[in-house]
């Protein structure tokens, strides 16, 4: 891996600035991103992978074509942060761990350090955008990855990443950073409507994740009886809440538009174990607060009924760590 001393904030003017990325959160997404940025041929970005504990530097990525990519990454822990400052910090933790991770690196943030939030849902993103003095970008991705062990991650399938900021002030930075992610081999586009895109993914996650976690089934099985009807009930509750947030489905309108999107994702990820199911099976906390919380808060603000979403939320909240549903 080439290390350049021409570190520069992306979007700061140079034709091909080399950027030092800190990736905080060495789960499947974080390590998949780190491996791509570290092994890309151009630009010669550098990467440090930061976790609660330092991960092994020698990492492997199994590509969607079954090849094994190996690289030695710089790694660090939250207790012993990298000496070299970050040009950009990617937070790739689970949604519920994001703000604690940010707190742990607070002393190393400057008023201009760009943050990229890769979390599911729509919970920490507006709070961090309001609080961090520097630019905050949000990312939403359909890249599929899962952890094998501390040294190996499988990149199950290529998807697409969208990047943008919630207050519309950092589009040049989003465009510059999208170039780095593209150059690293991950399709990425800077967009002006990231809020809509985050909510759309939240809608899909809300319709799929709690049910597959509860019944311990793969996404595609939701198309079968009796699960299909349960998904449709969730979609009927989601649609008016999303409309009250002025979030439209990508095609069609209302219940029919959201239904099309959800069934399209259930079909294209039919063989997947959704992230929430993986969390439940591994005894980890789930992202129910980030995914269902904003919908329930919005329903309450707008006087809408959401009994099914409330009971899915309550069931996931009650789940003790290390217990299965």
Give the residues lining the site for ligand KPL (CB under 6 A): 204-205, 208-209, 219, 265, 269, 272, 274-275
Smallest distance from ligand KPL to CB 145, Å = 11
Give ∠ CA 105-110-112 in degrees, rounded to 5. Answer: 125
Contact 287, 94 (CB under 8 A): yes
Nearer to ligand KPL, 116 or 208 (CB): 208
DSSP assignment string, 289-323 = HHHHHHHHHHHHHTT---HHHHHHHHHHHH--TT-
Tell me whether residue 46 or residue 269 sits nearer to ligand KPL (CB atom).
269
Q: How far is the CB of 269 from ligand KPL (least distance, A)?
A: 4
**Spatial CA neighbour of 34 closest among 104, 89, 82:** 89
233 touches 290 (CB < 8 A): no
Least separation in angstroms between residue 288's CB and ligand KPL is 12
- Say whether 148 sits in a helix, a strand or coil: strand
Comparison of 125 and 272: residue with beta carbon closer to ligand KPL: 272
- As measured in angstroms, the least distance from the Cβ of 87 to ligand KPL is 29
Nearer to ligand KPL by C-beta: 116 or 204? 204
Q: Among residues 154 and 219, whose Cβ is nearest to ligand KPL?
A: 219
- Paired sense of beta strands 68-72 and 58-62, if any: antiparallel
Closer to ligand KPL by CB, 119 or 205: give it: 205
Q: Which of 288, 320, 273 is nearest to 28 (CA)?
A: 273
Q: How far is the CB of 244 from ligand KPL (least distance, A)?
A: 23
* Minimum CB–partner distance for residue 34 and ligand KPL (Å): 20
Q: According to DSSP H, which parts of the chain are helical?
A: 28-39, 98-104, 124-131, 171-183, 194-215, 227-244, 254-268, 275-281, 288-301, 307-318
Q: Is 128 helix (H, G, I), strand (E, B) or coil?
A: helix
Smaller CB separation from ligand KPL, 49 or 202:
202
Q: Are 150 and 172 in contact (CB under 8 A)?
A: no
Q: CB 212 → ligand KPL: shortest distance, Å?
A: 7
Question: Considering only CA atoms, which of 101, 134, 104 is closest in space to residue 118?
Answer: 101
């Amino acid at each position: 891996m080439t290390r350049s001393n021409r570190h520069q904030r992306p979007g700061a003017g140079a034709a091909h600035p080399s950027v030092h990325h800190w990736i905080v959160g060495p789960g499947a997404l974080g390590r998949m991103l780190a491996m791509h940025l570290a092994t890309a041929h151009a630009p010669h970005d550098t990467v440090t992978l930061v976790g609660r504990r330092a991960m092994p530097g020698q990492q492997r990525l199994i590509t969607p074509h079954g090849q094994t990519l190996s690289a030695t990454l710089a790694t660090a822990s939250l207790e012993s942060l990298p000496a070299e400052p970050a040009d950009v910090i990617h937070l790739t933790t689970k949604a519920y761990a994001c703000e604690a991770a940010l707190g742990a690196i607070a002393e190393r943030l400057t008023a201009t350090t760009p943050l990229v939030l890769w979390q599911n849902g729509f919970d920490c993103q507006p709070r961090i955008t309001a609080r961090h003095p520097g630019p905050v970008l949000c990312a939403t991705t359909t890249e599929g990855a899962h952890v094998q062990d501390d040294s190996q991650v499988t990149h199950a399938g290529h998807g697409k990443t969208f990047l943008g900021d919630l207050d519309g002030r950092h589009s040049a930075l989003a465009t510059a950073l999208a170039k780095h992610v593209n150059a690293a081999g991950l399709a990425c586009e800077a967009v002006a409507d990231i809020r809509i895109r985050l909510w759309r993914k939240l809608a899909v996650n809300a319709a799929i994740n709690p049910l597959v976690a509860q019944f311990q089934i793969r996404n595609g099985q939701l198309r079968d009886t009796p699960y299909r009807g349960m998904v449709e009930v969730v979609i009927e509750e989601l649609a008016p809440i999303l409309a009250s947030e002025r979030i439209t489905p990508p095609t069609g309108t209302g219940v029919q538009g959201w239904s099309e999107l959800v069934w399209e994702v259930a079909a294209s990820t039919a063989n997947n174990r959704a992230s929430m199911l993986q969390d439940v099976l591994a005894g980890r906390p789930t992202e129910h607060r980030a995914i269902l919380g904003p919908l329930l808060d919005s329903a309450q603000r707008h006087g809408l009924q959401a009994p099914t979403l409330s009971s899915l939320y309550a069931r996931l909240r009650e789940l003790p760590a290390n217990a299965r549903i």
